[in-house]
Amino acid sequence: MASIARRLPHAGRIAVGLGGAALVALIAWVGAGAVASAVLRAGWTLPPLLALHAGQIVLSGLAWRDVSGGGAPRAWAWVRIRWIREAVNSLLPVAQIGGVLVGIRLLRHRGVTLAAAGAGTTLDMTVEALTQFVFTLLGIAVLAGIGAEQSLRPWLGGVLALMGAGVAGFVLAQRAGMLAAIERLATRLATLVPGLPVLDVRGMHAHLMRLQRRRGALLRASGEHLLAWLLGVGETWLALAAIGRPTGFAEALVIESLGMAARSAGFAVPGALGIQEGGFLLVGGLVGVPAEVAVALSVVKRAREILAGLPGLLAWQWAEGSRLASSGGE
């Protein structure tokens, strides 16, 4: 693991420091003692929370495989690589892109071409973003339906508009040839870097266009991703009940959907440190959840994230080490 730390970009370390400072300041502001007490009360929920999260990873891995065309490697390999991909994005300062690159690399080790892995992963990220948009829209609709505090409603509408514009822009960029531009760039780089595997990149745009025409697979993957998002509602509901502030399913859905939207907005900060907590604090206030409970909920989720992510990082290092040992190094 020390080798990982040495490779972390300097900007990433700064972001970790700033995010960590924001998190500590927020906990101190709402009351460190109250937050610690609430977290300890919810400690027994970590095993079931890990089980719920494992379900999310399985569903997300299967969705990734579905949009990528199915086939080799086996489904379990896609789930395991999805677990590693999430662990890297959650625990390392890689701005949510490092895990994606690691996932593509591991797929290549499993015999998937770079063009196929890149196209499938791009489409998977698109479907995941689309389903999160739907999930966030559902949370805002439920918030309006339960008659909760509406002071932030205009802001929520703006957030939803930005999310929709971002997803639409990502889809339009793909249709306009985003991956084709990457292919052209790789071809030009090959003239400067002899031995660059350009042939692996060629055909990525065409492969993505073929995958986008598989409507059945897209619908199936959308359902799997949406169900994964909904499992997170169960996690929030259970954690709040254990803390001693039980809510209904509707309130838990609002907190989870809008809280995760805040986390996604903070993608540039590793783990969305401080941003996730601020999001839960604001959203929790809309449905009557005290500030210290909302922050404690986020801390409990982080504890689950660490417990799930550390083994994922070890699994990544094991996979890389095993490949190097079998190939005699690179």
For 28, 144, 149, 155, 185, the CA distances from 152, given in Å and listed in that order, are: 24, 11, 8, 5, 44
Examine residue 87 and state whether it is found in any structural domain, yes or no.
Answer: yes
Joined together, the tokens standing for residue 16 give 């970790």
What is the distance between the alpha carbons of residues 236 and 56, in angstroms, rounded to a whole number? 14
Please give the share of the chain, as a percent, with pLDDT higher than 90.
Answer: 52
Give me the chain's average pLDDT, please: 86
Res 308: pLDDT? 96
Reference 282, options 10, 274, 46; nearest CA is 274
Q: Where are the alpha helices (DSSP H) in 244-290?
A: 249-265, 275-286
What is the distance between the alpha carbons of residues 118 and 207, in angstroms, rounded to a whole number? 9
What is the distance between the alpha carbons of residues 305 and 49, in angstroms, rounded to a whole number? 10
Res 181: pLDDT? 81
Examine residue 18 and state whether it is found in any structural domain, yes or no.
Answer: no
The number of distinct structural domains making up the chain is 1
- Note if the pTM is more than 0.85: yes
Residue 187 pLDDT greater than 80, yes or no: no
Per-residue model confidence as pLDDT tens digits over 11-43: 666 766 776 777 788 888 888 899 999 999 999
Examine residue 31 and state whether it is found in any structural domain, yes or no.
Answer: no
Helix (H, G, I), strand (E, B) or coil at 112: coil
Examine residue 30 and state whether it is found in any structural domain, yes or no.
Answer: no
Res 199: pLDDT? 52
Whether the upstream peptide bond of residue 73 has omega within 30° of 0, thus cis, is yes
For 26, 29, 136, 200, 229, the CA distances from 274, given in Å and listed in that order, are: 7, 12, 20, 40, 21
Residue 194 pLDDT greater than 60, yes or no: no
Per-residue model confidence as pLDDT tens digits over 248-281: 999 999 999 999 998 888 777 777 788 888 889 9
Residue 166 pLDDT greater than 60, yes or no: yes
List strand residue ranges (DSSP E) for the chain, in order: none
pLDDT band for 4, please (50, 70, 90 cuts). Answer: very low
Per-residue model confidence as pLDDT tens digits over 75-124: 999 999 999 999 999 888 776 788 999 999 999 889 898 889 999 999 99
Examine residue 321 and state whether it is found in any structural domain, yes or no.
Answer: no
List CB contacts of 239: < 8 A, sequence separation 6 or more.
42, 45, 49, 297, 300, 301
Amino acid at 5: A
Examine residue 221 and state whether it is found in any structural domain, yes or no.
Answer: yes
| DSSP codes of every residue in 259-270 | HHHHHHHTTTSG
DSSP secondary structure code for residue 213 in this structure: T
Examine residue 318 and state whether it is found in any structural domain, yes or no.
Answer: no
Least confident stretch, 207-211, 271-275, 300-304: 271-275
Least confident stretch, 14-23, 45-54, 212-221, 225-234: 14-23
What is the distance between the alpha carbons of residues 103 and 88, in angstroms, rounded to a whole number? 9
Residues shown for the chain: 330
What is the distance between the alpha carbons of residues 138 and 291, in angstroms, rounded to a whole number? 23
Res 1: pLDDT? 44
Rounded to a whole number of angstroms, the CA Rg of the chain reads 21
Per DSSP, the chain holds a count of helices (H) and strands (E) of 15, 0
Q: For 64, what's the count of Cα atoms within 13 Å in the CB-facing half-sphere? A: 31
Residue 197 pLDDT greater than 70, yes or no: no
Residue span of the structural domain in which 197 resides:
45-312
Average pLDDT, stretch 304-327?
89
DSSP secondary structure code for residue 271 in this structure: G
Per-residue model confidence as pLDDT tens digits over 51-75: 999 999 999 999 999 999 987 789 9
